[in-house]
Structure 1
Amino acid sequence: MKKYDKRYSKNYVAKLIAVLKMLFQYAVDHGYLIKNPAEKLKKQEEKNTVTTFWTEEEMNKFLKVAKEYAYYPAFLLALSCGCRKGEILGMTWDAIDFDNCIVNIKQILTNDGKKLENKAKNQQSIRSIKIPSNVIEELRVFKQEFDEKKRTLKGNFAKYNLVVSSKNGAPVSPRNISRTMDIIIKKPGVPRITFHSLRHTHATLLMQKGVNMKVVSERLGHSDIRTTMNRYTHVAPTLQEEAAEIIGSLIK
């Protein structure tokens, strides 16, 4: 199916296949068709290995342009903290501890953008992530701007208290974030990746810099470190080279 080429989620396509099979089977059962034409359709196999991410240079080129857009904090948090899209769009200002440079992941926005839920993907996803000090300073500025809107406009700004919100303070549609990202990507000419791949970029760059995989796994909120190990196998050759150089320097 060519739906995969249009960047539809695997889950969406799997549901579409299931509906097609059910509809055509109904036609077969009631004598409208001889054979179910969707019988052999299969959902795309899951490929857990990460293949799309940016280099450090590409990441910074993107962020430089993204600063001019309202959803910049979403991209900044994804790249600096490795948060999922739903975690960022459900994040409230009181979840950020500015004194200790920590964000507490405890609420998400559902994929359809219609509901805020006090939960996460799994138990490990309910976590605290250390935020870089330079990112905290940027967030302070956005918080000041938000507080002014909350004071003067009230409404949804006071009701939801979201770090990333629409113009009227309500939750942002996840699709709007992706559309904006696609627009931004074209300007610096960096490779086109999905919003979720910003998270992959975060993890890949950390591991390439030698950060312990257990720490990366905790930042991502993976339920098992083996998930992290299996997903980021592309980093292994680089780490092997670094390991060889380190041990070589110790041998006199």
Structure 2
Amino acid sequence: MFYKIAPEYAKNTLTNIHQVFNMMIREAVRDSYFKDNPIHAVNLPKKAKKKKVEELDEDLKDMKFWEKEEIKLFLQVVSRKGRPRDLAMFLLLIYSGLRIGEAVALTWDKVDFKKSEIKVRYTLFREKDLKSNYELLSPKTESSIRNVPVPPQVIMQLRILKNVQEQVKNDVGELYKDEGFVFTDNSGMPEPARNFNYRMTTYIKKAGVTKITPHNLRHTYASLLFAAGIDLKEAQRRLGHSSSKTTLDVYSHVMRETKIESVIQFNAIANDIF
């Protein structure tokens, strides 16, 4: 319960809720409604741990991103050679700007198929990269809790992935641990971010495009936003930045290049006219 509501409330509020529940249960135990306190051992969700959560901060020294043609070549290779969850993941990262930790933490109830929207509420933390030892934590900042619109291609591939996952569940049966995650292995466990990183490297070699990381796809998304004419405030909201200054600081050079490209395109139109 606390992990589900943690992103929506401050730590003090969660502490108060925890204390009230404990008090109620203790009274129920005293009056013989329960044999013992079922939430006695429940701990409040931890805050994200620096540099251990499966996400990276904006890195000004690593501002690589793909141009449209490189995106196309990469996705063509993943579509031909990859698994449905790979194509769904990379489409999601490219067209939503999610951090990889936010993506692997995504659950189906946070995918709004009708509105074509992704609800970012958690990031996934793994202790020493152990497959089964993970926690859902609140994202890095309050502004990271956001709803991000995505294009039809993303929603379509997520629908395909959901159908594939249902088939895996039927094949595996009771051995499948269904916790509602979107990106899982064949046992139902959330797949580690590093797996997507490894496979992305393989696809990049086959596509012959610039070598980048899953986090660089967030920069790629930002470049697409600015190329599409999305204003700064909206870009800030979609990227989950705490202020528009952060967006400016990180992507000022991308915006500058887009502005230059826009001027060139406008001049070309003017030349065609007169």
Q: Quickly name the TM-score band, shorter chain normalised.
A: 0.7 to 0.9
Output the CA distance in 2 between the equivalents of 1:134 and 1:143: 14
Find the residue that maps to 2:225 and give its secondary structure: helix
Output the CA distance in 1 between the equivalents of 2:250 and 2:189: 34
Partner of 1:90: 105
Query: Which one is further off, 230-239 or 117-126?
Result: 230-239
- Aligned residue type for 1:97: D
Partner of 1:101: 116
Partner of 1:81: 96
Deviation at 1:241, TM superposition (A): 5.7
For structure 2, the residue ranges without an aligned partner over 5 or more in a row are 1-49, 53-57
- Aligned residue type for 1:166: D
Deviation at 1:93, TM superposition (A): 1.0
Which whole-Å deviations, capped at 9, do the CAs of 1:51-76 have from their partners, x for residues lacking one?
30000110111111112323222111
Find the residue that maps to 1:116 and give its secondary structure: strand
Find the residue that maps to 2:200 and give its secondary structure: helix
Identity %: 33
Query: Which one is further off, 210-219 or 179-188?
Result: 210-219
CA contact (8 A) 2:101 2:124 kept: yes
Q: Which runs of 4+ in 1 moved over 4 A?
A: 154-158, 243-249
Output the CA distance in 2 between the equivalents of 1:227 and 1:205: 18
- Aligned residue type for 2:143: Q
Aligned partner of 2:82 among 60, 63, 69:
69
Alignment of 1:59-208 (within 5 A): 59-67=71-79, 68-70=81-83, 71-110=86-125, 112=127, 113=129, 114-155=133-174, 157-208=176-227
TM-score by length of 2: 0.68
CA contact (8 A) 1:49 1:232 kept: no
CA RMSD of aligned residues (A): 2.7
Deviation at 1:243, TM superposition (A): 6.2
Which whole-Å deviations, capped at 9, do the CAs of 1:37-56 have from their partners, x for residues lacking one?
xxxxxxxxx96266300001
Q: Does 1:215 align with 2:234?
A: yes
Output the CA distance in 2 between the equivalents of 1:244 and 1:74: 34
Q: Does 1:226 align with 2:248?
A: no
Output the CA distance in 2 between the equivalents of 1:127 and 1:119: 12
Deviation at 1:83, TM superposition (A): 0.4
TM-score by length of 1: 0.73
Deviation at 1:101, TM superposition (A): 0.8
Aligned length: 207
Q: Does 1:238 align with 2:251?
A: no
- Aligned residue type for 1:76: L
For structure 1, the residue ranges without an aligned partner over 5 or more in a row are 1-9, 13-45
Deviation at 1:157, TM superposition (A): 4.9
